Structure 1
Amino acid sequence: MSALFTPLVMRSLDIRNRVWMAPMCQYSAPVGGERTGAPGDWHFTHLSTRAVGGAGLIMTEGTAVTAAGRITPADLGLWNDTQQAAFQRIAQGLRALGSVPAIQLTHAGRKASTARPWDGGTPLPPEYGGWRPMGPSPLPYGPGHLVPDELTVPEIRRIVGDFARAARRALDAGFQVVEVHGAHGYLIHQFLSPYTNRRGDQYGGSFSNRIRFALEVVDAVRSVWPDDLPVFFRASATDWLERPTAEGPGSGWEVEDTVRLSVELMDHGVDLLDISSGGVAPGIRKPVAPGYQVPFATAVRHKAGAPVSAVGLITDPHQAEHIVATGQADAVMLGRELLRDPYWPHRAARELDADHTWPKPYEMAHP
């Protein structure tokens, strides 16, 4: 029996396999008007195609909990009724196709207000359609980026509430998993890492202070999320900042910090850690290779005792099978590989001789 195609039970959910779609920003939401931030036909087709393709869980791209939390003006958001209604169509469609609909909630913090990647990805000041970014400390992401406004304690608490309200909307739209985005240099990660968090109050300095915002967000989300449905947390296991940089001290967030955080997160109701890396500083070179981030997930799984998903250049069915079968991770998240091949799960099942079936209308092509 294939480990990759063994169902995974999480709370009340029975996820049909361990091949999951990673969140990938599409930067394709409407800009301006009442449908700003709402998913459209592109998102519906993009996500439902991967459900037809056999992925057990489909994670939406990072969805901002407030307008100021978007990376670009074309990001998805979930702070109003129009957006919620558009997401309902997607969640219902994914469930009808046999996949678990999951949504990733995020706030970009100091990395907010930029142009789309194919438009240069440059910072957008307010006079060019952008807005003022915010962060734990007034430190810009990189050269040319706006200096973010340092968040006050009341503003931090308001953002915690924004996450809870977005989670409630996600539940009402029909999603069965919510993921808190605490990775890739976005706001929660900015509070976690000493590289970006230079605060002197209860949200900065010590490890327990720097994780406070993350735990408050998780508590707020869990307070509105049913006990029988899972909450995930995406973490960057390391900042890849082993040496001092020109911008500041080299000390950043590391694997052992992620292990410690994972223990705390599980105590606060998180069911799975979605492990990635990097993103808090520009210009970092990673030792990219097939499965290069899997050891981070394995460390969290073994040292913290947490269920984990692994991501990062997982492209081959036998590679993915080995990761799950040997206990390195409980599931694999596929990103770019599913962009190239939406039907990768079906192909993988065939290569692994797994007990898995194609949709009935497609069986004639795959005897």
Structure 2
Amino acid sequence: MPRLESPFQIGGVTVPNRLYRSPLLECAGNGSDAVDCLISELEPAAEAGAGLICQGATLVRGEGGCAAPGMTRVHDRAFVSELSRLTDAIHDHGGKIAVQLEHGGLRSMETWHAGYRRANPELEQLAVSSPPRLLRAMAATGFLDYDAHVLTTDEVYELAADFGRSAAWCADAGYDVIHLAGANMGLIHQFLSPFYNRRNDEFGDGVRFLEVILDEIRSRAGDVPVMTKVPAETAAPPVVRRHLSADEAVGICARLADYGYDALVPVEGSVFWDASIVKGQFPKRAWTDDRYQSGYAEAFGGQLRARLVAVGNWIESKVYDFEPAWNADLCRRVRRVVEVPVLCEGGIRGRDEMDRLLGDACDAVGLGRPFYAEPRLPARVLDGDRETRVVCESCNNCAVPQAAGANGVCRTPAVLQEAGRLRKAGAYERDTSESVDLAASDVDRS
């Protein structure tokens, strides 16, 4: 059984250990301080020992497609070249870094953010097919607005080329792995999902879009490793008849591995952008915090609508309660049918859990929201015993304010107090010499 501290391969890249920071919203944007913001967000995890750092969803086009405020775009080669300062910072600590490329499609801010729609009336969502009837019915409530442009076949190829072009620039800037946002209701997910995809051309087979993207990356960026998330829409509400089953997701993973993808991240969720992708408690503190009320009103079209969204969030929290390692069973099934690494994330909270998953359900384990409370979490996990657990309570107070443009940080006093106690006790400091020697010996044994 592999150890958390042992290295593994993604394509031709050796990742020094099997603990990774999964993609989160950094809210860095593209301003003059964007690179410094990304460094401040991501470097602590590398300095504390994470083998792989995944930069959060990053857009391949210069306008539209932004699923949340403050997302960074990599459509401009000059800007991407500046990101070499970030990749150098990660490499200086011995870590590897991936960039997650995305386009939001029907999940974009031009759909759900009222203030953004008013400021950008000319923007249309890019759609795989005409928005499903259920979504159009939901739009009648005024919470969503669809003015979708259905991509032609030629435009799908052009979008795939944008992914390839951005991937090549990122590889030139020092990114070790290209990570595609193939789940969480982004545009790639929409191609894969029968809920969204009713095309009658070659891209009616949604996997074809991921194949063309890989072809574009290979033609422009050579053999840079490429991995993708793959969705199973097992949390879709009963009223949604057309959705991806776990069996279908396993089949998609097998096909992508055969086509040349270097690693896979299977995840479960709904067909909607809802609490199924985070699970956990209702974030009451975040919804009632006075600092974000005007931002919520701007996003959802007024205070009343914001309160109704909060009620919906409360209902979702009852349906999608926290489950430890909720993607483990799906990852285990995928790992049985592919020979490339399978990465597992979602609800992993303790060292004992990580040790049990490795070699069984997956080849590497990722954590996301816990990094908001503990930016240097890997030091504690990699140097800790089997009883080590994160301080995160999965309360989701970190995530909801991002709809109002706030940064993703822990906002729960008890959690912050415990993280502060651990920091004062030196829990986030590492003696890297031992881990380097261990990694070297594992490489020798392999």
Return the letter of the residue paired with 1:42: C
Equivalent residue number for residue 87 of structure 1: 83
Give the aligned partner of residue 19 of structure 1: 19
SS of structure 2 residue aligned to 1:40: helix
TM-score calculated relative to the size of structure 1: 0.85
Q: Give yes or no for the alignment of 1:340 onto 2:373.
A: yes
The 2-side partners of 1:184 and 1:123 are apart by 21
Q: Cα 1:313–1:243, aligned 2, differ >3 Å: closer, same or farther?
A: same
Structure 1 SS opposite 2:14: strand
Amino acid at match of 2:364: A
**Residue of structure 1 equivalent to 2:244:** 253
SS at match of 2:20: strand
In structure 2, what is the equivalent of residue 224 of structure 1?
220
Question: 1-side partners of 2:110 and 2:71: how far apart?
Answer: 10
Percent of aligned pairs with the same amino acid: 25
| Counterparts of 2:118 and 2:237, CA distance in 1 | 38
Question: Which residue does 1:118 correspond to in 2?
Answer: none
Number of the residue aligned with 2:124: 132
**CA-to-partner distance for each residue in 1:297-349, whole Å, 9 max, x for gaps?**
1111113444211111111111111111x421000111011222223222122
One-letter amino acid of the counterpart of residue 233, structure 1: T
Q: Does residue 158 of structure 2 align to residue 158 of structure 1? A: yes
Within 5 Å, which residues of 2 pair with 1:58-97? 58-67=53-62, 68-72=64-68, 74-97=70-93
Confirm or deny: 8 A CA contact 1:39 1:87 kept in the other structure.
Answer: no
For 1:234 and 1:110, the matched residues in 2 are separated by 18
Contact 2:383 2:430 in 1 (8 A): no
Greater shift, 342-351 or 254-263, is seen at 342-351
Q: How many residues align?
A: 339
The equivalences for 1:6-45 within 5 A come to 6-30=6-30, 35=31, 39-45=34-40
For 1:201 and 1:184, the matched residues in 2 are separated by 24
CA distance in 2 between counterparts of 1:123 and 1:197 reads 26
- Offset at residue 358 of structure 1 (A): 2.8
Tell me, in whole angstroms, the C-alpha distance in 2 between the residues paired with 1:282 and 1:77.
21
| Alpha-carbon shift at residue 293 of structure 1 (Å) | 1.3
**Preserved CA contact (<8 Å) 1:125 1:146:** no
Check whether the contact 2:253–2:334 (CA below 8 A) recurs between aligned residues. Answer: yes
Letter in 1 for 2:362: A
**8 Å contact 1:164–1:220 — kept in the other structure?**
yes
**Contact persistence 2:266–2:344 (CA under 8 A):** yes
Length-normalised TM-score, structure 2: 0.70
Amino acid at match of 2:144: H
Superposed counterparts of 1:40-55, under 5 Å: 40-55=35-50
Equivalent position SS for 1:203: helix
Structure 2 CA distance for aligned equivalents of residues 221 and 256 of structure 1:
28
The alpha-carbon distance between structure 1 residues 222 and 257, as it changes in their structure 2 partners (threshold 3 A), is: farther
Larger radius of gyration: 2
Cα distance, 1:29 vs structure 2: 1.2
CA contact (8 A) 1:133 1:146 kept: no
CA distance in structure 2 between the aligned counterparts of 1:271 and 1:242, rounded to whole angstroms:
32
1:194-343 counterparts in 2 under 5 A? 194-204=194-204, 209-227=205-223, 229-241=224-236, 243-244=238-239, 249-282=240-273, 285-286=319-320, 288-324=322-358, 326-343=359-376
Amino acid at match of 1:311: E
Change (3 A) 1:114 1:317: farther
Would the alpha carbon gap of residues 223 and 3 (structure 1) be closer, same or farther in structure 2, given more than 3 Å must change?
same
Q: Which segments of 5 or more consecutive residues in structure 1 lack a partner in the other structure?
A: 116-120, 361-367
Q: Is there any run of 5+ residues in structure 2 with no aligned partner, and where?
A: 277-318, 387-428, 434-446
